[in-house]
Structure 1
Amino acid sequence: MDSDQVLPSSSPAFGTPAHPFRKTKACPLPTRTSILPILLPPSTLRPVAFRTITRKHNLTISSSALQALAAFVGRNCGSGWREEGLAERVLDEVAKSWRKAGGGVIVEEGKGASLNAILKAIEGNMSGGKVTAKVVGPEKLPIGLAGQRQDVMGSDMHPPSATFSPDELEQGELALSTHPRHWIKVIEAFDVPRLTYNAEKKYFEIAKSKPTLFPPPSQKTALFRDRYNVIHQRLLRNESFQVSSSGQSFRRSSSTLTSDNQSYKLTPIANLLGRSGTSHLLLGLLSISPTGDLALTDLTGSIALELSHAQIIPDDGAWFGPGMIVLIDGIYEEEENFKGTTLGGNNGIGGAIGGRFVGVSICGPPCERRETSLGTSSPQMTGEVSSSGGLGWIDFLGVGSERARGLRMRQIQAKCLQDKPRDLGSHARLKMAIMSEVHLDNMRTFDALRKLFGLYNHLSLDERPIVFILIGNFVQKAVINGGGQAGSIEYKEHFDALAVVLSEFPSLLQHSSFVFVPGDNDPWASAFSAGAASPIPRQGVPELFTSRVKRAFTTANSQFDRSKAIGPVGEAIWTSNPSRLSLFGPVHDIAIFRDDISGRLRRSTVSTRKGTGTSDTSIHGSSTLAADNMDPVVPHDHIGSQPEHTDAQAVSSISMARKLVKTVLDQGTMSPFPLSSRPILWDYASSLQLYPLPTSFILADSEAVPFCMTYEGCHVMNPGRLIPEGGFSMKWIEYDILKNRGKVKEERL
Structure 2
Amino acid sequence: MEEPVSTPGLPARTFKVPSRAPATEQILSSSPGFGTPAYPLKARPTEVAKPFPAQLNTIASHSAPTVLPILLPPQTLRPVAFRTLTKKHNLTLTSSGLGLLSTFIGKFCGSGWREEGLAERLLDEIAKSWKKCNGGLLVEDGPEKRLSNILKSLEPCMSGGRVDVGKLSRSNSSVGSASFPRSNSFANRPDLSRDDSQASIGISGLNFEDDQEPSPEDHSQSDIRSYLKVISAFDQPRLMYSTSKKSLEPAASTASLLPPIQHKISMFRNRYHLVHQRLMRNESFQAPSFSTTTRPPTLIHSASSLATQQNSYKITPISNLLGRSGSAHLLLGVLVHSAAGDLALTDLSGSVVINLSVARPVPEDGAWFCPGMIVLVEGTYEEDGSQNSNLGTAAGVGGQIKGIFVADTMAGPPAERRALTLGISSGQDSEKLHTNVGAGFGWIDFLGTGSEKALGPQMRRLQSRYFGPSSSLIQSITNHDSDDEESEPPRSKIAILGECTLDSPRTLEAIRAILSSYHTSSGYVSSLPLSIVLMGNFVSAASMAGSTKGGGSVEYKEHFDALASVLSEFNTLLANVSFVFVPGDNDPWQSSFSAGGATMLPRLGVPEVFTSRVRRAVATANTEVHGNGAKERDEIKGEVVWATNPARMSLFGPVEEIVLFRDDMTGRFRRNAVAFAKPEVEDEDEQQEPPQVPLNVEDLDLDKDVHRATSHLPATKHTPSPSTQAARKLIKTLLDQSNLSPFPVHTRPQLWDHASSLSLYPLPTALVLCDAEMPAFAISYEGCHVMNVGRVVDELGMRKDSRGSGVARWIEYDVRWQKGEERIVRF
Per the normalisation by structure 2, the TM-score is: 0.70
User: Could you tell me which residue of structure 1 aligns to residue 629 of structure 2?
Assistant: 562
2:394 counterpart of 1:346:
yes
Moved more, 243-252 or 499-508: 243-252
d(CA) in 2 for partners of 1:336 and 1:672?
A: 35
Structure 1 residue 628: deviation in Å? Answer: 7.0
d(CA) in 1 for partners of 2:244 and 2:126?
A: 39
User: Could you tell me which residue of structure 1 aligns to residue 452 of structure 2?
Assistant: 402
Superposition map of 1:512-661 within 5 A: 512-560=577-625, 561-565=628-632, 566-611=634-679, 621-622=693-694, 629=709, 651-661=721-731
Superposition map of 1:192-271 within 5 A: 192-246=236-290, 251-253=295-297, 256-257=300-301, 261=308, 262-271=311-320
Retained in 2: the 8 A contact 1:699–1:716?
yes
d(CA) in 2 for partners of 1:413 and 1:499?
A: 34
User: Could you tell me which residue of structure 2 aligns to residue 190 of structure 1?
Assistant: 234
Moved more, 246-255 or 264-273: 246-255
Cα distance, 1:91–1:586 mapped onto 2, change above 3 Å: closer
Deviations 1:448-507 (A, max 9, x none): 111111111012233321100000000000121116996100000000000000001111
Structure 1 residue 97: deviation in Å? Answer: 3.4
Superposition map of 1:272-311 within 5 A: 272-311=321-360
Structure 1 residue 171: deviation in Å? Answer: 8.4
User: Could you tell me which residue of structure 2 aligns to residue 371 of structure 1?
Assistant: 419
Matched to 2:394, the amino acid is N
User: Could you tell me which residue of structure 2 aligns to residue 724 of structure 1?
Assistant: 794
- Find 2:575's aligned residue among 502, 505, 510: 510
Q: Name the larger-Rg structure.
A: 2
- Find 2:88's aligned residue among 65, 78, 97: 97
Structure 1 residue 346: deviation in Å? Answer: 2.0
User: Could you tell me which residue of structure 2 aligns to residue 428 of structure 1?
Assistant: 489
Provide the identity percentage: 44
Structure 1 residue 102: deviation in Å? Answer: 5.3
Structure 1 residue 26: deviation in Å? Answer: 4.1
d(CA) in 1 for partners of 2:426 and 2:661?
A: 28
Retained in 2: the 8 A contact 1:440–1:446?
yes
Structure 1 residue 556: deviation in Å? Answer: 0.9
Cα distance, 1:145–1:135 mapped onto 2, change above 3 Å: closer
Structure 1 residue 208: deviation in Å? Answer: 1.8
User: Could you tell me which residue of structure 2 aligns to residue 702 of structure 1?
Assistant: 772
Retained in 2: the 8 A contact 1:100–1:139?
no
Cα distance, 1:113–1:406 mapped onto 2, change above 3 Å: farther
User: Could you tell me which residue of structure 1 aligns to residue 531 of structure 2?
Assistant: 467
d(CA) in 2 for partners of 1:586 and 1:96?
A: 23
Structure 1 residue 22: deviation in Å? Answer: 7.6
2:36 counterpart of 1:24:
yes
Matched to 2:660, the amino acid is I
2:379 counterpart of 1:330:
yes
d(CA) in 2 for partners of 1:683 and 1:317?
A: 32
d(CA) in 1 for partners of 2:511 and 2:594?
A: 29
Matched to 1:748, the amino acid is R
Cα distance, 1:627–1:322 mapped onto 2, change above 3 Å: farther
Structure 1 residue 718: deviation in Å? Answer: 0.3
Retained in 2: the 8 A contact 1:383–1:406?
no
Cα distance, 1:384–1:190 mapped onto 2, change above 3 Å: farther
Cα distance, 1:459–1:133 mapped onto 2, change above 3 Å: closer
Deviations 1:357-382 (A, max 9, x none): 11100100000000000000221697
User: Could you tell me which residue of structure 2 aligns to residue 61 of structure 1?
Assistant: none
SS of the residue corresponding to residue 234 of structure 2 reads helix
d(CA) in 1 for partners of 2:673 and 2:295?
A: 31
User: Could you tell me which residue of structure 2 aligns to residue 740 of structure 1?
Assistant: 818
Retained in 2: the 8 A contact 1:342–1:351?
no
Moved more, 471-480 or 346-355: 346-355
Cα distance, 1:120–1:510 mapped onto 2, change above 3 Å: farther
SS of the residue corresponding to residue 524 of structure 1 reads coil
d(CA) in 2 for partners of 1:531 and 1:338?
A: 51
Matched to 2:752, the amino acid is W
Deviations 1:576-615 (A, max 9, x none): 00000011111110000000111101111112221479xx
Structure 1 residue 709: deviation in Å? Answer: 0.4
d(CA) in 2 for partners of 1:330 and 1:336?
A: 19
Cα distance, 1:174–1:544 mapped onto 2, change above 3 Å: closer
Matched to 1:703, the amino acid is E
Deviations 1:538-559 (A, max 9, x none): 0000001000001111111111
d(CA) in 2 for partners of 1:132 and 1:676?
A: 56
SS of the residue corresponding to residue 221 of structure 2 reads coil
Matched to 1:395, the amino acid is D
Moved more, 185-194 or 421-430: 421-430
SS of the residue corresponding to residue 234 of structure 1 reads helix
Matched to 1:123, the amino acid is G
Deviations 1:260-295 (A, max 9, x none): 721111111111111110001111101111111101
d(CA) in 2 for partners of 1:125 and 1:329?
A: 58
User: Could you tell me which residue of structure 2 aligns to residue 14 of structure 1?
Assistant: none
Cα distance, 1:558–1:426 mapped onto 2, change above 3 Å: closer
Cα distance, 1:146–1:346 mapped onto 2, change above 3 Å: farther
Structure 1 residue 253: deviation in Å? Answer: 4.6
Retained in 1: the 8 A contact 2:231–2:650?
yes
d(CA) in 2 for partners of 1:547 and 1:255?
A: 55
Structure 1 residue 68: deviation in Å? Answer: 10
- Find 1:667's aligned residue among 711, 730, 737: 737
Retained in 1: the 8 A contact 2:105–2:119?
no
Structure 1 residue 736: deviation in Å? Answer: 0.5
Matched to 2:631, the amino acid is K
Query: Would you tell me which structure has more helix in proportion to its own residues?
Result: 2
Structure 1 residue 427: deviation in Å? Answer: 3.5
Matched to 2:264, the amino acid is K
Structure 1 residue 251: deviation in Å? Answer: 3.5
Cα distance, 1:413–1:608 mapped onto 2, change above 3 Å: same
d(CA) in 2 for partners of 1:125 and 1:488?
A: 55
Deviations 1:179-199 (A, max 9, x none): 101111100100011111111
- Find 2:464's aligned residue among 393, 402, 414: 414
Deviations 1:561-585 (A, max 9, x none): 3323531011111010000001111
Retained in 2: the 8 A contact 1:305–1:359?
yes
d(CA) in 1 for partners of 2:520 and 2:711?
A: 33
Deviations 1:111-141 (A, max 9, x none): x9999999879935989xxx99997497878
d(CA) in 2 for partners of 1:486 and 1:658?
A: 37
- Find 1:392's aligned residue among 427, 442, 455: 442
d(CA) in 2 for partners of 1:91 and 1:318?
A: 46
Moved more, 548-557 or 255-264: 255-264
Structure 1 residue 407: deviation in Å? Answer: 1.1
2:149 counterpart of 1:145:
no
Cα distance, 1:713–1:414 mapped onto 2, change above 3 Å: same
Which blocks of at least 5 consecutive residues in structure 1 are unaligned? 1-20, 28-63, 73-89, 614-618, 633-646
Deviations 1:65-104 (A, max 9, x none): 8x998xx9xxxxxxxxxxxxxxxxx998687138532589
d(CA) in 2 for partners of 1:546 and 1:126?
A: 49
